[in-house]
Chain A
Amino acid sequence: MSVMNGFREELIDSLSGINGDLTIYDMDDSKLEEFTNKYPNISFVKNYQERVITSNSNSIEGLLMKSISQNDIYLIPKIKQRLFELQDIEENWVYIGVELAKTLNVKVGEVFSINIPGSSMTILGPVLNSYELIVKGIFNTGVYDYDKYFIYSDINIFNNINSKPIIDVYLDNQEFNFDDLEDYYYETWVDQNKSLAQALTTEKNVMFIILFFIVIISSFTIISNQIFFIKEKFKDIILLKVLGVKQLDIALLFFLNSFIISIFSIILGTILGIILSTNIDSVEKILSGLLNFDLWNNEIRYLSTMPYRIKTADITFIISISLLATLISSYIPILRIFKIKPNLILR
């Protein structure tokens, strides 16, 4: 559950921290200035987007290039978080992700070539316009796709490629009146990642169903152990009854025996769960090594490392369900004790 929560929150945080909480598609500069003045604590990043191709002797990659102004790069939360850059490059710059830098073996300060499909067509397809940019910085968002397929370039070079600018809005938990956008076409990060958002919701529901079944199976184990234990102690139960011990006291003895063991298991399980969650990366590495199988493939999982987020509410919920299941499964078998007749001892 902690890994799922961590994955969910980290992914949402990354998605909104790179592309913005919402994207406005058709806003002119005057209106943008008006919005910037109205919401001074919210970041509005104007950019042009273009599909480009880059290649060198190592690889050929298709990329999404966002052209923005130099200062706006520091308004993108996930980019500014982990950014290594050179200060003295003022123009013709490009920021690339760490995964792309690794693939192409490019370092800061080196030349980075891109090809943009032009409007002129030839018999072989569109003409490619080549540009040579200098890598000013390398960012590491922690999201594999963004670190490999997103680049940020100087808006002064590419502002005429696409006539319509896009505004990425980073709310940073500030109040925003969405009624102000009723004249504009915009999408939230959920709209932009509908399938992903649905998958996350489904994942959470499925996890709860799986958890429920695990608790049910555990309950059956407790019940079967308790029945086995009562059968094993059949003669002792009869003896206690014959010695005048109250049936309720005998039942309570067996109930407490099962319940205390279960409580101990729940405490131990919770502690182990928290320890494993907080060391999930080490656990993943050990298991991957033992199984010789990559358990956390960052190309599939989006995120470079396995995240976790321990939520007190989730832990309380799971403990409550386990306690309830333990109570029920410890109680059901002891009903058999009331059916055992003491006269079976004299035969």
Chain B
Amino acid sequence: MLSLIAQIGRTTIQQLAGMGRMFLFLLSAFAWVFRPPPRLRLIVEHIRTIGVDSLSVVLLSGVFTGMVLGLQGYYSLRKFNAESFLGSAVALSLLRELGPVLSAFMVTGRTGSAMAAELGSMKVTEQIDALYSMAINPIQYLVSPRIIAGLISMPLLTAIFDVVGIYGAYLIGVGLLGVSSGSYFAGMQSSVVFHDVWSGMLKSVSFGLIITWVCCYKGFHALPMATGVGQATTESVVLCFVLILVWDYFMTSVML
């Protein structure tokens, strides 16, 4: 019994220590943003990796999410003779929840995993040590630009996801199922307020932070062994998914 309690205590302390290290890592990354030299070129490069390179997967998932919403929304609303509300239902669910969360999932899978693998591989092959030995802080060089790029790219990708999602639902609802185009957009116009857009964007910024922070941390602390990089990548993706959902709940409950 005592050993069980001791084990629980040890595990708790380890988890808390791990969380502390993660927060210190984030603080250090932010502190390095403001120290010279500025890393604008690297930030732009990572915006390309996180933003532009994720565009195709975000477009594809956005349009199909919208199409499914159009289809499901139409059949649910028809039961109440409320098909004309399809535009509002799609726009609200995309702008407030599905857009930020699903585009964050896509970016985690597409870019976050690659980020963790790249940094993990750099750790295992001593490239991070090489940076230290050249008197270059690897957090400033490798982590801070990625976090800034994540904060910039994620809301833009979410906005694109929202727009193509709305048109995906339009394609099905208006083009295929006969909802009036005017009522689709008029409903949207009357029910969507700026707060809906703003809360979705705020969520996406925080998801951008979660993805880059978690994936960089896990890659940076990959174990120097053959399975280390794989383990870091898996852990980073799983942790990102969980944190995105948990954080989404808290943000929704605060901003509702």
A and B: interacting chains: no
